[in-house]
Every structure is written in C-alpha cells, then in structure tokens.
C-alpha cells in the first residue's frame, strides 16, 4: 500500500491528512493559531506559526498510523492566498506576513491602478487592484519599511514558505501566483511589464510551476523534523480555493463549489480566462493545466462566525457541547429573519461584489427583544445573503452550474447549510469530505507520483458528493423578500464607511 498527504495552511489552523492509494483517510492532525491585528484593518501572522504547526501535524501523522514513512510517496501543500512573506539573504523571515484579509493598502492599490492602468491590469492579471492581493502589499512595504525592503531577497506566499521549509526550494504555483497581481493570466508566468513598472526583480520571486509539478523531495533537515522520508516528493501545491475545487471535483464547467471557511467562496472552472469588466469577481489560473477559474469572495464568512462565537460564547463551559454546537442550538431556536435583525459580514472589508476595503460589519434593526441567539442567527443569515450577492454576479456573467458542491468548516453546520440553501434558492450537495483542500492536494500528489494516470482517475477515488440539501419553498420566498433590504443597507452605508475610516486615520 502507498500513501499521500494533503496539507492545508489556513488562517486559524493548519491541517494534515494522510490518505491511502484507495482514497481512504488513514490519519489526520490539526494545530490551531491566531493572527494579530496591530491596528484596525491590519492582519498579520508569523510564517513560523505555519511551519511549526505543519511539522507537528506531520509528526503526529507518522506516529498515529502504522504506515512506514517510505510508503508515503508524495505530498501537496495548499493554503491561504495573497499573504506576503519576505526573506533575507539567509532565508530568515524579515517581518510578519501581511495576510489576505489585511486592508492597509488602500493608497497602494490606487497607486497600482495608476502605474499599470486599470484596463491593462485587468487584461494582464484578470483582476483590478485589490488591497488583499500581494502586489499592493509589496508597494506598502517599499514605501513604509524601505530598510526591510532593501534587505529582502525572496518573496513567497504562505503555502510556498512551507514548501520551502520542506524542500529548500523557492517555488510557487500558477493558481497561487495569479493572486499576487504579478502574474500574466494567459501565459501563466510572471508578467515582465508589471515587474518592470513596479521595479520588482524577477529574482525575488519563486519559480512558477503548474500545481501538480514536483518541486523536490523532503530535505534532510525537514525529514529530521517531520519524521518523513527524504524519498517523499513535494508538489508545487495550489491556492486554497483551487485546491478545494479539485477536492470537490470542480475541474470542468457546469459545476460550482461553495467553500465556507474563514472567507466564503463561490468557484467555477473555465476553459479560457474569463474576466469581469467590473472586477467584482476574481479570475485566476486553476490548479489543473490549461484551465482557469472565476471565484466570488465574501471576506468575512467563517471569520464572522468565529468572531461572534469567541466574543460572545467564549466564556461558556459545557462538557457535552462545544461552542459551535451551543451557538447552532441557540440560533436554531430563532425564527427565520432573526425577528428583524440583520448583519453585514464586512468585518475585514469586502471583495465581491463591492470591492470596498472601507466596509465594516454592521448589526441593523436591534430592539429590546433581541437576544444573543438572535445575533447568532443574524450572523449566519448575513453571510448567506453575502453569498447570494456573489451568486448574482456569477449569473450576470452567464456562469451557471447544474450543481453546487459545499465544503469547508461551515458545511458541518446543518442550520447554516439550510439557511444558505434557502437564500440561494439552489440545492447544495454537501461533500462527505469537508477538508476539500487537503483532499485536492492528495489527488494532485497521487497523479504526480504516477500512482494513477490522470486527475480524473484520482478523483474517482477521492471525491465523494454527499447528501443533497433541498430548500423549503416558503423559506426561500421569505429570504428572497428580505434580500433587497440587505443590499440596500450597504448602499446606504458605503459613504459612512469612508467617513468612519477617515475619522480613525485622523485620530
């Protein structure tokens, strides 16, 4: 028997799952951590948090299973996208990584638009200038931390730092690299014109691979730390959403995935680059050669749930139920619509469809009748409405699907799944394997190791669509009538969001 590992470097935890050659999960491990917010709108993590978590997970996998380390043929790493990791000449970390949900680069994003030109940026990268993407973060460091920038010898993305620690090689993949705004979407390589304009040396950037290409083997140092064999091969990996799409079987048109993690993502595969002229959804390279994808992103999906749970349920002590179960039970006791309470889940700004880094979270309609349980349900409903906002853009661009497959941590909540189904007025197929990102990495690793001929062959072993959740017509109608109010709240408040930001900055 041979084995494969999928690793997912997330915002709140890292996970590693060991699969056998038949697609069965053999063992798993997870390590949690947090990110820091030194100022409002900032979000940072120390890259060694990821590596320490991953190396511990890998040791646990080896020890928890009876597998001989030489039987583990290959592994793949996926993870949060867009984070800026800077290394010096000795490959030491220069600063904490500015991660995907950081919103400090408003001015730099505008500068990027001016330097490249909005139309050119869309044509080359598939996306308008965005605060969450990597290029604007590089401009911010160049402007605000010039001494650090002068010492920078290598720029990596979060999962690429883990790949470097495993192999000693500076590499990235097309799906993750296309989220930097430095990659040419059509050529699937770094854009010479953008690098020249921004005065970024190509030598600073890792070699670009297709996601399933082998980067190298486990290094001696990594083998000692992780207890893996130096014979184990490491593929380039993929950005979290592309990896999850592979794990959900979304590699061809007519299928869509909904991933409910820290962010919320609607994802569809395309045969050619498809760019929204208004830039409301992202267009990126897929983890499968000669394919691309579009994705609509709501920034604060699972992040809003975690924030509310930790802030308002953190003091609970109940041996029978965990905090998620308590929150689910309370929210489930509240009528649809939360008796007039509504939530805008813009804790870290918003991408699709608003592209508004000033946007912030809002509870609307609070009355004396509302309890903690009402707020809990309103959070779930607000995220569901935000997904509907995203779906409308996809439909406007004629991106449709016969089936939507749901995964991510939020898919473990029957209540939240039902709310989203009713809001979208679409049935959802909840995947049996909720950790689709790690599963997607195991699929690509298996193909790279030549254990199966094609990705399609591997997916037959790994991809298991579960039960279909069908909505209630009455609930669908009620949410459909509430949705225009949700949309109007953002339109009414977007000017106030800017004013609030200006007041904070001026203090």
pLDDT at 412: 92
Q: Does the pTM of the predicted model rise above 0.75?
A: yes
Residue 507 pLDDT grade (very low, low, confident, very high; cuts 50, 70, 90): low
pLDDT tens digits for 440-494? 999 999 999 999 999 999 999 999 888 899 999 999 999 999 999 999 999 999 9
Is the pLDDT at 212 greater than 60? The verdict is: yes
Q: Is 5 helix (H, G, I), strand (E, B) or coil?
A: strand
> Which residues are designated catalytic?
240
Name the token pair of 26: 């053999």
Determine contact, residues 227/58, Cβ cutoff 8 Å: yes
pLDDT tens digits for 109-150? 999 999 999 999 999 999 999 998 999 999 999 999 999 999
Is the pLDDT at 505 greater than 90? The verdict is: no
Distance of alpha carbon 173 from alpha carbon 155, whole angstroms? 13
Domains of the chain and CATH, by start: 3-236 (3.30.420.40), 298-430+468-506 (3.30.420.40)
State the average pLDDT over residues 254-270.
93
Q: What are the strands, taking DSSP E only, across 313-456? A: 342-344, 362-364, 403-407, 428-431
pLDDT at 314: 85
Residue 319 pLDDT grade (very low, low, confident, very high; cuts 50, 70, 90): low
pLDDT tens digits for 68-78? 999 999 999 99
Residue 504 pLDDT grade (very low, low, confident, very high; cuts 50, 70, 90): confident
DSSP-assigned letter for residue 214: E
Determine contact, residues 105/131, Cβ cutoff 8 Å: yes
Q: Give the burial string for 289-318 (b: 16+ CB within 10 Å, else e).
A: eebbbbbbbbbbbbbbbbbbbeeebeeeee
pLDDT tens digits for 395-432? 999 998 878 999 888 999 999 999 999 999 999 999 98
Residue 322 pLDDT grade (very low, low, confident, very high; cuts 50, 70, 90): confident
pLDDT at 51: 99
Q: Mean pLDDT over all residues of the chain?
A: 95
pLDDT at 136: 98
Name the token pair of 7: 């690793």
Q: How many CA atoms lie within 13 A of 216 on its CB side?
A: 19
To which residue do tokens 């459909």 refer?
A: 480
Distance of alpha carbon 168 from alpha carbon 87, whole angstroms? 13
Distance of alpha carbon 470 from alpha carbon 94, whole angstroms? 50
Cα dihedral sign, 48-434-348-361: negative
Is the pLDDT at 318 greater than 90? The verdict is: no
Distance of alpha carbon 317 from alpha carbon 91, whole angstroms? 44
Residue 41 pLDDT grade (very low, low, confident, very high; cuts 50, 70, 90): confident
Distance of alpha carbon 431 from alpha carbon 411, whole angstroms? 8
pLDDT tens digits for 142-182? 999 999 999 999 999 999 999 999 999 999 999 999 999 99
State the average pLDDT over residues 383-387.
99
Is the pLDDT at 392 greater than 90? The verdict is: yes
Q: Which of these ranges, 202-206, 224-228, 430-434, has the smallest mean pLDDT?
A: 430-434
* Helix or strand holding residue 59 (H, E): helix 47-64
Residue 254 pLDDT grade (very low, low, confident, very high; cuts 50, 70, 90): confident
* β-strand partners of 293: 269, 284
Distance of alpha carbon 119 from alpha carbon 175, whole angstroms? 22
Is the pLDDT at 199 greater than 60? The verdict is: yes
């Amino acid at each position: 028997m041979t084995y494969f590992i999928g690793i997912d470097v997330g915002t709140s935890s890292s996970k590693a799952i060991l699969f056998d050659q038949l697609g069965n999960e053999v063992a798993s491990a997870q390590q949690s951590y947090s990110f820091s917010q030194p100022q409002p709108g900032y979000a940072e993590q120390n890259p060694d948090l990821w590596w320490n978590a991953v190396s511990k997970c890998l040791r646990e996998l080896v020890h928890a299973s009876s597998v001989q380390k030489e039987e583990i043929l290959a592994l793949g790493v996926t993870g949060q996208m867009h984070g800026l990791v800077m290394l010096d000449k000795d490959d030491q970390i220069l600063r904490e990584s500015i991660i995907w949900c950081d919103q400090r680069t408003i001015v730099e994003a505008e500068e990027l638009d001016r330097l490249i030109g909005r139309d050119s940026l869309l044509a080359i990268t598939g996306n308008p200038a965005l605060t969450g993407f990597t290029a604007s973060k590089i401009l911010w460091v160049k402007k605000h931390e010039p001494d650090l920038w002068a010492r920078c010898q290598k720029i990596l993305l979060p999962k690429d730092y883990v790949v470097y620690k495993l192999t000693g090689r500076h590499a990235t993949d097309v799906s993750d690299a296309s989220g930097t705004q430095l990659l040419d979407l059509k050529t699937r390589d770094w854009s010479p014109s953008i690098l020249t304009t921004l005065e970024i040396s190509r030598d600073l950037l890792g070699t670009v691979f297709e996601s399933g290409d082998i980067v190298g083997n486990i290094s001696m140092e990594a083998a000692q730390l992780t207890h893996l064999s130096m014979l184990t091969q490491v593929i380039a990996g993929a950005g979290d959403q592309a990896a999850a799409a592979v794990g959900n079987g979304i590699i061809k048109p007519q299928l869509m995935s909904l991933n409910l993690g820290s962010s919320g993502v609607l994802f569809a595969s395309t045969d050619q680059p498809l760019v929204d002229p208004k830039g409301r959804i992202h267009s990126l390279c897929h983890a499968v050669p000669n394919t691309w994808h579009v994705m609509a992103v709501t920034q604060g999906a699972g992040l809003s749930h975690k924030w509310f749970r930790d802030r308002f349920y953190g003091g609970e002590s109940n041996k029978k139920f965990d905090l998620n179960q308590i929150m689910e039970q309370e929210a489930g006791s509240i009528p649809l619509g939360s008796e007039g309470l509504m939530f805008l889940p813009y804790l870290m700004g918003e991408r699709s469809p608003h592209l508004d880094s000033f946007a912030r979270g809002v509870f609307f309609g609070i009355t004396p009748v509302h309890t903690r349980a009402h707020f809990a349900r309103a959070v779930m409903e607000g995220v569901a409405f935000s997904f509907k906002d995203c779906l409308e853009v996809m439909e406007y661009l004629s991106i449709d699907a016969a089936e939507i497959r749901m995964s991510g941590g939020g898919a473990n909540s029957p209540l939240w799944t039902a709310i989203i189904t009713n809001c979208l007025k679409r049935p959802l197929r909840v995947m049996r394997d909720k950790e689709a990102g790690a599963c997607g990495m195991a699929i690509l690793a298996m193909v790279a190791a030549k254990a199966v001929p094609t990705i399609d062959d591997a997916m037959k072993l790994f991809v298991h669509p579960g039960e279909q959740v069908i909505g209630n017509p009455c609930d669908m109608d009620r949410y459909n009538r509430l949705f225009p109010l949700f949309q109007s709240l953002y339109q009414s408040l977007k000017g106030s969001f800017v004013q609030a930001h200006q007041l904070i900055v001026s203090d």
